[in-house]
Amino acid sequence: MHKALLLLSCGLFAGCTNVVSDRVQYLHPNQAEGYHSTRVFELAREHLAGNGYHCELDGVHFASCAKITRDSSLHSTRVIIRLEREHDEGNSVLLLASRWDEGLIPSEFISNRFESEDLARLCQHLASRHIATCKETPS
């Protein structure tokens, strides 16, 4: 009986981690307006920072922006949007969004589908200003 309680309590306090990703997107700068991927990269980081994301930068080629959307003693949820500018991808910027759930709620009770509203808003923001468009293919 004691072994069963010990195993049960270890399972409860060990916690669970669940990671789900949105579909991959690429930002394509509007070259007719004179935007280059470096400027689009900066504008995307500025937009995310203005919407509560904390961005860690690695020059002008990589940024990881995170925002905590749920923070309780039992469970926390963090959304991470990564921007990567690769030379071999032309002038586009790779966008990846993922949701990290950590805590005592087993992954069976957490949705395995994720579509980042913040990523969609970023794409809408840049498209409405004719800066860049989001597509599912590189340039």
Determine contact, residues 59/86, Cβ cutoff 8 Å.
Answer: no
What tokens were used for 134?
A: 């989001």
Judging by beta carbons within 10 Å of its beta carbon (0-12, 13-18, 19+), is residue 95 exposed, middle or buried?
buried
Class of domain 16-135: alpha beta
pLDDT digits (tens, 9 = 90+) for 95-125: 999 988 887 766 666 777 888 899 999 999 9
Beta pairing partners, 80: 66, 98
* pLDDT for residue 14: 54
Whether pLDDT at 10 is above 90: no
pLDDT digits (tens, 9 = 90+) for 28-65: 998 888 888 888 888 888 999 999 999 988 877 888 99
Average pLDDT over residues 14-29: 81
